[in-house]
A and B are shown apart, each in its own frame.
Chain A
């Protein structure tokens, strides 16, 4: 009789462990997905800001057509790529970042523009959006790390392999230029 109780007890504990771990894995995976979506939200926000910025700047910087066009082109390219193609997409986004940084650097030579309230507001929005993009990547990588820990480590790895959980892919900054913060001197 006692043996039966012990067996039932062990089975119950195993089941509880299984479900708790499984739910934990689900939670981590959802968190990772949310984090990924958050990056997309911020990238979209940047796409939306760029036409406004280009329009505001256009009237002031007559001799910087190349810089402006580079921004518009980089935006178009990045937007046309599918979100699933992480490698190509992050490269394109990186190029957009550096094109924007160049534009904002060039703009420093136009004091009239810097007095424009509309431009200043846009500049703040862009700076902050760039920050949000990198913070959301940072958080995404943190989430992937946590998921991967669970998937790899004993004993949760057993539950993970039984239920088919895969490791997440880290978001790596592929463009060399983007690894360093854009060197923009605002004087």
Chain B
């Protein structure tokens, strides 16, 4: 699992370079086409890319958290969730406890942010918290912690920025080309054959670059998902937890309100699917959810090699994990599966469900700064933060309660 971080770094360097070359080529030819200066185009492309990279590096996680309207929680807000994240932090050997954020949304989903393991966060929706039992939640959190540990967040953010730059450049170029008339740089005659070829290459690049970049991006994204699944199984030693969590998420027909195209690849499962349609039909940032479940369920042990074997059985052909990730792990051979925890062995899950739903809604009220008073008669009074009185009477039994400042 440590090898794969290194493999990941090499691969990200390679793919980043590939996308970078694509970006530079595009900039160069667009420059030639519009200003008759390849260098000018190059500089424009680099400046746009540089600014976007800096913003993404330093503010990316904040922007993402703000966009998804996530709220940070502390240990006391939801001890169970905090404990589960801490368990996965220990299992993965992360040095620092990631921050935990909650999105108030019934659609079950999760993602991880942060440019490095020192500054990382795990974000989950309240729907996920209410739906999953302990083992399932552990599986999902393990998947997110794996993204942090494998440096996927950084890799995906940098790739997304490059993709974004390429798309923006190509988009503006095509608009100018088709609607703005031919650019100023058009010569009436002459030009020679070399120039014609340059122009042709420019146009082809303009059309193909965004598609190529997108394909590279999706390919990386899918690989990272499989890798995170396998790491989650390794950390928890219990692939069934994640499998059954994915099953529950797939069965949900709710759409995440605060997700958009830019943030979609961050989530555990693709947040976009047609309303009312189950999540099994996924677009290409994520592998098909049924397949992920099938692979996890086919695992005979919890090691990365076991995952790779299950993957090859399910899909045929080559495995999904870098070979260097497997060698070390094989030596251990001690990654036996564990038994389910008591929480998920329940036959009657109903009382648990009610309990989880209640815990989650309590959490959401608290995060929205509502005050809660437990009346001895069994009634729960919830006061809006705007409700500015010092005492309140219980409508059931008539006791008067003092409203404490939070």
Contacts and interface: CB of A to CB of B under 8 A. Distances in A.
B331 A131 contact: no
Contacts of B345: 185-186
Interface in A83-126: 121, 124-125
B90 A132 contact: yes
A169 B297 CA distance: 33
Contact of B334 (A135, A141, A149): A141
Contact of A128 (B87, B237, B334, B347): B87
B293 interface: no
Given A146-B328, A181-B338, A124 B93 contact: no
Interface in B172-218: none
A38 interface: yes
Contacts of B91: 135, 138-139
B287 to A, nearest CB: 26
Contacts of A70: none
Contacts of B339: 180-181
A42 B86 CA distance: 11
Given A35-B93, A146-B2, A132 B342 contact: no
Given A124-B83, A181-B338, A139 B343 contact: no
Interface string B331-347: 11010001101110111
Given A124-B79, A181-B338, A131 B87 contact: yes
Nearest to B88: A135
A180 B334 CA distance: 14
A145 B83 contact: no
Interface string B242-270: 00000000000000000000000000000
Contacts of A135: 87-88, 90-91, 235
Interface in B66-95: 79-80, 83-84, 86-88, 90-93
Interface string A129-166: 00110011011011101100100000000000000000
Interface residues of B, number: 29
B333 to A, nearest CB: 10
B332 A132 contact: no
A20 interface: no
A101 B83 CA distance: 19
Nearest to B3: A146
A26 interface: no
A187 B87 contact: no
B304 to A, nearest CB: 12
Contacts of A145: 328, 331-332
A85 to B, nearest CB: 23
A31 interface: yes
A135 B144 CA distance: 17
A39 B237 CA distance: 18
Contacts of B334: 141
Given A181-B339, A187-B346, 17 more contacts: A35-B93, A125-B79, A127-B341, A128-B84, A131-B87, A136-B90, A138-B91, A139-B93, A142-B1, A142-B93, A145-B331, A181-B338, A185-B342, A185-B345, A186-B343, A186-B345, A187-B347
